[in-house]
Amino acid sequence: MDAADFVTGFSRAIERKVIDVAIAATSADTSRGSMPIDPIVVHDSVHATLRMFLAPAAPTGWTATRQQQIDGRVVVNERLDRFQIGNGWLKLPVAGFFELDDAGLIPQWPSYCDTGSCARPLAALA
């Protein structure tokens, strides 16, 4: 499986909330580095965050409008992430960089998104 397909599989696991599959794709030194949020450097914390993020009450959509492998093991995508909150959906444009390690797992995925522009719709939905 090539790196882009691997990231697509990871994204589909996130969307479908298949937690074990998503976690299996991450490596032991996984750090989830969202730019607005400090990187999470401990593996257990990443898993706890994934489990919280993928809670059954919060359907999720990760729609990649562009995704391509660059630099050997790095996959970049532009996405519109959607999170169901209450009866509405928060839509968040994201640029993600997935850097696979030697084992083909995901140790980190720095993500660029704007917390400023989603604060108002988030408050309206909450």
Q: Which residues bind a copy of itself (CB under 8 A)?
A: 35-36, 66, 68, 70-71, 74, 76, 78, 93-95, 97, 110, 112-117, 119
Closer residue to a copy of itself, CB minimum distance, 53 or 97 = 97
Cα 23 to chain centroid distance, Å, stands at: 11
Rounded least distance, CB 56 to a copy of itself, Å: 28
We find the least distance from the C-beta atom of residue 67 to a copy of itself, in angstroms, to be: 10
Pick from 50, 37, 35, 36: which is nearest to 106 by CA?
Answer: 50
41, amino acid identity: V
Shortest Cβ 75–a copy of itself spacing (Å):
10
Of 41, 39, 18, 14, give the one whose Cα is nearest residue 30.
Answer: 41
Task: Compute the least distance from the CB of residue 74 to a copy of itself, in Å.
Answer: 8
Nearer to a copy of itself, 29 or 71 (CB): 71
Nearer to a copy of itself, 54 or 96 (CB): 96
Q: 49, exposed or middle or buried, with CB in 10 Å at 0-12, 13-18, 19+?
A: middle
Q: State which residue, 50 or 113, has the beta carbon closest to a copy of itself.
A: 113
Integer Cα distance of 89 and 125 in angstroms: 8
Q: What is the DSSP letter of 69?
A: E
